[in-house]
Amino acid sequence: MSIEMKRRELFKFAAGSAVAVSAMRAQSPHLFFTPDEFAIVDELTEILIPADEKSGGAKAAKVAVYLDRELAEAFDDDQRQKTRAGIALVDKLSMKMNEVGFLAATPKQRVEVVSTMAGDEEKPKTPEEMFFHEIKSAAVRAYYTSKIGIEDQDYKGNTMQMKDYAGELPSGPALGNAGSK
């Protein structure tokens, strides 16, 4: 654990250095995220959309894998850097609240970090609140377009309706003398 911690600390301070970033990517099995970034996004999105009695959560739906690919392909580098900075903020907030990074924190501590980040969802102001909005939107997009997410909704469409279409047919005109009064 302590070796892990040191590695994370190193990355944190190296963030922004192009050499360090490319070095990290070379070691990473992911397309954009470093292993730790990926782990944080994987845990964080699972807290946002968890597995429950009905269906799997963000982890099972491979939300982090999808976001990793999306960011790797993104046209605008700004989007990548904003996400990277946001992930760093999560770790920093965890250090501040729990004296350990997000991945080393207990499940309860992680949820507290996310609650703090959520802040005032209606009017996000702080960088943490802004990132919460970003990552939640991204998780919603990725989860609810996944097979697990669509099945969680009991969505019944995208199917051939061979006889009658869905819904009811209104019986006759709604108005006796429509428009004439």
Partner 1 sequence: MRSEPEVEQPTADLSKTYDAVIVGSGAAGGMAAYVLTKHGLNVLLLEAGRKQPIEKELKSMEWPYQHPRRGEMPPDDHALTHNEYTVRPRPYAKGMPYNHVYSYVQGWGGSDYSKNIVVDEKDNPTTGTPYAWVRARLLGGKTAIWGRLALRLSDYDFKAASRDGFGENWPIEYKDIEPYYDRVDLTLGIAGMKENLPYLPDSKFQRSYRLNKGEMMFREAMAKQGRVATPYRAGVTTDGIKGNKYRSKCLGRGACNRRVGGCDIHAAFDSPTGLIYPAFDTGNLSIRTNATVYEVTVDKNTGLASGVSFIDSVTKQTYQVKAKTVLLGASTLETARLLMLSKSTTYPNGIGNSSGHVGHNFCEHVMGPGVTGLIKDLVGKPHTLDDGRPGGFYLARFRNLTEKNPNFIRGYGFEGESGQGMFPGHAFSTSGFGKDFKKSVRDHAGAFISMGGFGEVLARYENYVEIDPEQKDRWGIPVLRFNYKFGDNERKMAKDMTESAKQMFEDAGIQIVGVDDEVLTEGWSIHEMGTSRMGSDPKKSVVNQHQQSHDVKNLFVVDGSTHVSAANQNPTWTIMALCWRSCDYLADQLGKGNLA
Q: Which residues bind partner 1 (CB under 8 A)?
A: 47-50, 52, 54, 57, 66, 69-70, 73-75, 111, 114, 118, 121-122, 136-137, 140-142, 144-147, 150, 152-162, 164-170, 173-175, 178-181
Phi-psi region of 158 (alpha: psi -120 to 50; beta: other; left: phi over 0): left
Nearer to partner 1, 1 or 174 (CB): 174
Q: Which is nearer to partner 1, 27 or 180 (CB)?
A: 180
CB of 122 to partner 1, least distance (A): 8
Q: Which is nearer to partner 1, 29 or 172 (CB)?
A: 172
Cβ atoms of residues 90 and 113 within 8 Å: yes
CB 24 within 8 A of CB 30: no
20 vs 134 by CB, closer to partner 1: 134
Min dist CB 130 to partner 1, Å, is: 15
Find the shortest distance in angstroms from Cβ 140 to partner 1. Answer: 5
Query: Both ends of the chain: CA-CA distance in Å?
Result: 80
Indicate the residue among 18 and 165 with the shorter CB distance to partner 1.
165
d(CA 128, CA 83): 11
Residues across the chain: 181
Give burial (CB, 10 Å; 0-12/13-18/19+) of 52: exposed
Kindly state the smallest distance separating residue 10's Cβ from partner 1, in Å.
30
Residues in CB range of 139: below 8 A, 6 or more apart: 45, 48, 49, 58, 63, 67
Q: Smallest distance, Å, CB 162 to partner 1?
A: 7
